Structures are given as C-alpha cells and as structure tokens.
Copies of this chain bind each other. A is one copy, B any other.
Amino acid sequence: MEKAMDAGRQSEVTCVDFWCNEFGMRVRIALRELGVPFEYIEEDLRVRERSELVRRMNPVHRSIPILIHHGLPVCGSANIIEYIDEVWGEETRLLPGDPADRADARFWADFIDHKVFSTQTKFFTSKGEEKEAAKEELVEHLKRLEEVLGDKCFFSGDEFGFLDVVFIPFSSMFYGYEQHGGIDLEAECPNLTRWEKRCRERESVCEVLPDGKVQYELHKKFYGIE
C-alpha cells in the first residue's frame, strides 16, 4: 500500500508505521506535504510482539509511528508533525504562524487524540446502552469539530495545515461510523463531509488514506465485531 518515495536516501528519513494506523497516516501525509523523501518500514500491529526496531527506537511506549531522522527517533504523532514542520517547513508551513492560532490548533489536536479517539474506541468495542452512549458522545465530538471548521476550506482557512493533517486520517473511519452505528455523517456534519472530499483530492492524502470499507473490515476483525 505504502511505497517509499525515495528508497535511495533511506538512511536519512525513515517512517515506521502500519498502513491503516490513524496516527501514523498523519506522519506520512505531513512528509508528503512538505516533499520529504522517506523510507517506509511496515510494523504489523496485528502481530502482538513489537519488532526489535520499535523496541529500540521507542523503548518507553513501544508504539508507532516513529520517525527516524539521521538515526535518531522522534515519537508521538503530533510531536512528529511539529518536528517535520520545524525541520522541513520552508515556503509551506503546517502550523499557523500566529501564536493564538497555533495554540488553537494544538488544543484541537489534543481533543482529537484524547477525546475523539477514546470515544471512537468505546463505540467500536461496546454493545447495547454503552455503545449508544459512545455513539452520542462521538457525534457530539464530531459536531464540535464541524463547528471549528465552519465554512472554511480547511481548519486553518484556505490552506491545508496541521489540524487537517491530524484529523483527516480519522475520516477513513467515517464509513465505519455509518455501518457500525448508523451515524449519518453527511446529515450531522455537512462541513466535515465536504472537507473530507476536498482533502482527498490532495495527492498526499489520497496516497495514504485507505478506503473506508477496507478500513472498517480490518477494524471489525481487530475489535471482534461480527
């Protein structure tokens, strides 16, 4: 699925990830947006034991994605995007320039990491009333993001930026939201639906994001959903 953009310079930048990992997709999109060639190493999350590389490069969390630059690891997906922006962002910057806008983008990135993701997991792993409550909460979170986006093209305005990179991988789960809980995203969040289509027109995004059906099938297996 994922191909190295420039295998010849593999020693400089490496991204360790699993193709359908919502957190790792961010890194691969950011690298593409800023035109950074990288080697891609697949870490299959379906295998319980982490590889020697992951254990060595991220001994604290043993998680992916990991960006390896000149042999040194950077871990944590939002952290990696900030790093990519600081090292390779020249004409194009992913983070906004104004401190208040940056703080706002970081606030919502944290909201996605710690509210949307945990609620999404609850939604896919629970049943009955608990599932219904998680569904309601998930829609509430999505509506907050719908409001932040408003009628802008991208979260930061006219340009695709940090918060778009952070959230767009979650759109690969939108089909799953619909199938698993009947969430009609187009009706609930029309702005997000338009934004998703707009983002998917970008090469960086469409090369990285898996198809919603494929993603849902994989998560069904992963979460043991019948």
Q: Which residues of A line the B interface, CB within 8 A? A: 60, 69, 72, 74-76, 79-80, 82-83, 86-87, 99-100, 102-103, 106-107, 110-111, 115, 144
Contact = CB atoms under 8 A, between A and B. Distances in A.
A152 B103 CA distance: 30
Contact of A102 (B60, B83, B107, B111): B83
Among A76, A86, A103, residue most surrounded by chain B Cβ atoms (within 10 Å): A103
Copies of this chain: 2
Given A60-B111, A60-B144, A102 B75 contact: no
A159 B144 CA distance: 40
A80 B103 CA distance: 7
Given A76-B106, A79-B106, A106-B79, A99 B111 contact: no
Contacts of A100: 69, 72, 74, 83
Contact of A83 (B69, B80, B87, B103): B103
A82 B60 contact: no
A69 B69 CA distance: 37
A79 B103 contact: yes
Contact of A74 (B79, B103, B111): B103
Contact of A82 (B69, B103, B115): B103
Given A60-B115, A74-B107, 11 more contacts: A60-B111, A72-B100, A76-B106, A76-B107, A79-B103, A82-B102, A82-B103, A83-B102, A83-B103, A86-B99, A86-B102
B106 A82 contact: yes
A103 B79 CA distance: 6
Contacts of A82: 102-103, 106
